[in-house]
Amino acid sequence: MSNEVLIEKVDGVMIITINRPHVRNAVNRNVSYGVCAGLDEMDASDDIQVGILTGAGGYFCSGMDLKAFVNGEVTRVEGRGILGIAMTPPKKPIIAAVEGFALAGGFEAMLACDLIVSARNAVFGIPEVKRGLAAAAGGLIRLPRFIPQKIAMEMALTGDHIDAETLFRHGLINRLVSPGEALNEAKNLANKIKQNAPLSIAASKKVIVEQIDWSRDEMFKKQEEITSPVLKSKDAIEGSKAFSEKRKPNWKSI
């Protein structure tokens, strides 16, 4: 992995940092494959419960490196999209910590994250139409599922930027913080999540992500298929015992 992607592991949390601040963390091939490798490592590690995706130098990610694109460089992971997250998000929870710009492919990578913490002065957008491109890394598909369709349509057709306060009002952003504090707040959120049972976390994320495609007739059956192992697990007993005994649970499924 190149130094264009930094990986830090602290107490069950993996922090993946795009490290190209001189180009506002624009994505080249090394960055896409580096982030993808970090996400795969996170999912495979028993020691990591939550991930954070962020950028260095006060920027999240300005999207695809257009110079690399013009030179013929493939800036996405084959079969998985930009940063290896657009088409195949990780199984474990991932939080986007956004400062500065989250544009184009960077915005789309953020949409693939489970939670979003943003600085109040951050700027967002899918400006692909201004470059003769299309927001095909998830922007055109995910965004209208998360915010009102008319707002998503305006963003897609004008390519204009939108501010963090507006996206927060529309429910896309979980936490708004002072500039420079996005990563710290993402760590606080990650620390809350990692205290909970790993099996429960994984099942809860899976249900919420997949239920959008379930019909009314099948939704409880499909949910049961995912959650039944959780209810039968040692953690279900441990969590109940810990609550009654007023102590911190010792999860068995880590």
Query: 39-72 pLDDT, tens per residue?
Result: 999 999 999 999 999 999 999 999 999 898 888 8
Asked whether the predicted pLDDT for residue 1 surpasses 60, the reply is no
Paired residues of 163 in beta bridges: 123
Q: Are strands 5-10 and 13-18 parallel, antiparallel or unpaired?
A: antiparallel
User: pLDDT band at 254, cuts 50/70/90?
Assistant: low
Asked whether the predicted pLDDT for residue 253 surpasses 80, the reply is no
Q: Catalytic pick from 73, 108, 218, 224?
A: 108
Topology given in CATH for the domain delimited by 5-194: 2-enoyl-CoA Hydratase; Chain A, domain 1 (3.90.226)
Instruction: Concatenate the DSSP letters of all residues of 142-155 into one string.
Output: HHHHHS-HHHHHHH
Query: 199-245 pLDDT, tens per residue?
Result: 999 999 999 999 999 999 999 999 999 999 999 999 999 999 999 99
DSSP code of 91? S
Q: What is the mean pLDDT of residues 28-35?
A: 96
CB-hemisphere CA count at 13 Å for 147?
Answer: 21
Query: 34-48 pLDDT, tens per residue?
Result: 999 999 999 999 999
DSSP code of 25? T
Q: What is the mean pLDDT of the chain?
A: 95
Task: Return the closest-CA partner of residue 6 out of 42, 40, 23, 31.
Answer: 31
Query: 158-196 pLDDT, tens per residue?
Result: 999 999 999 999 999 999 999 999 999 999 999 999 999
Q: Catalytic pick from 128, 154, 165, 245?
A: 128
The full 3-state SS of 179-201, as one line of letters, equals CCCHHHHHHHHHHHHHCCCHHHH
Active site residue 108: yes
Query: 88-116 pLDDT, tens per residue?
Result: 999 999 999 999 999 999 999 999 999 99
Paired residues of 98 in beta bridges: 118
pTM of the full predicted structure? Answer: 0.94
Q: What would you report as the CA-atom Rg of the chain, rounded to the nearest whole angstrom?
A: 19
For the chain, percent of residues with pLDDT exceeding 90: 94
